[in-house]
Amino acid sequence: MKLRKWVHVILVGSAMITLAACSSHRKQDQSAIDAANASYSRHRGVAASGLGAESDFTDQARGGHQLSKRIYYFDYDSNVVHDADKPAIMANANYLVSHPRVKVMLEGHTDPRGSREYNIGLGERRANAVASILIAKGVNPAQIRVVSYGAEKLASPGHTEAAYRLDRRVVLVYLK
């Protein structure tokens, strides 16, 4: 009878440890997502208006309107940067080279088609494609952070090709 009790205790204990391990892993993943989301929300106004009064980061600074273009769109199932977006990426690269203390986050996004894993990978490949252009123009890799949201943060909730086109993007966010 005592053996049966110990087996029951061991089985229940093992189940609890397994559940605790799974939930702590999930919390770590969620905390990383929450931190990135908080950073995105906190800096969203910064990305739209520049880095603040102490910087010369304005639309008139080195690159004109190209510097303010920070959303780059992609074709379906592609991580190839469009030629039309390259001047804006170059303007941002020039700014980053001349301001080595400034950091950016490149957020990769996809439309909702495809598995979660595939979309996370595709979003990362898209963000890395933009990062490669920045690095090729002399930006220090330490200034760049890449994060992929996959289809977690859709630009448009619709299920039309026009909505999907808006979802397939990389957003360049300036951080302090």
pLDDT digit string, tens, across residues 114-147 = 999 999 999 999 999 999 999 999 999 999 999 9
**CATH numbers and ranges of domains, the chain:** 42-175 (3.30.1330.60)
pTM for this structure? Answer: 0.65
Ramachandran assignment for 172, one of left (phi > 0), alpha (psi -120 to 50 degrees), beta (any other): beta
Question: Can you tell me which residue has the tokens 């302090």?
Answer: 176
Residue 16 has a pLDDT of 62
Report angle CA 157, 159, 162 to the nearest 5 degrees. 90
Residue 2 has a pLDDT of 72
- The SS3 assignment for 99 reads coil
Residue 68 has a pLDDT of 84
- The SS3 assignment for 158 reads coil
Residue 44 has a pLDDT of 41
Residue 1 has a pLDDT of 61
Residue 114: other Cβ atoms inside 10 A: 15
Residue 12 has a pLDDT of 66
Contact 57, 174 (CB under 8 A): yes
- Flag residues of the chain having pLDDT under 50: 23-30, 32-63
Radius of gyration of the CA atoms of the chain, in A: 21
